[in-house]
Amino acid sequence: GENVEQHPSTLSVQEGDSAVIKCTYSDSASNYFPWYKQELGKRPQLIIDIRSNVGEKKDQRIAVTLNKTAKHFSLHITETQPEDSAVYFCAASKSNYQLIWGAGTKLIIKP
């Protein structure tokens, strides 16, 4: 079955710098890749997603890239701000829509 690996488990960056979180997946049939942000004590919320028919998607300071050949996708956050501090989860799914989750990355923004 599908397996999703996420790295790093913890990422500490200086405020204003960029952060990159990477995920790899095993099932080449996966076609939907969302990223969720979970702030402390709150529910996970979708921040951006990408489908397998595109290679990159951008929304203001957040972008996701997908490399289908290598079976990996990445979250890029530019000009990081304190409110970006949270745990970020990637996931992958096929058309039957069972999400397989990465283990999460704790992003710490240093002032």
Q: Is 46 in the site for another protein (CB under 8 A)?
A: yes
Residues of this chain, 74-103, that bind another protein according to CB under 8 A: 87, 89, 95-103
| CA 108 – CA 51 distance, rounded (Å) | 28
Q: Which is nearer to another protein, 50 or 109 (CB)?
A: 50
| CA 31 – CA 68 distance, rounded (Å) | 9
Q: Which residues contact 96 (CB under 8 A, 6 or more apart)?
A: none
Q: Is 104 in the site for another protein (CB under 8 A)?
A: yes
Site residues (CB under 8 A) for another protein? Answer: 32, 34, 36, 42-46, 49, 87, 89, 95-104
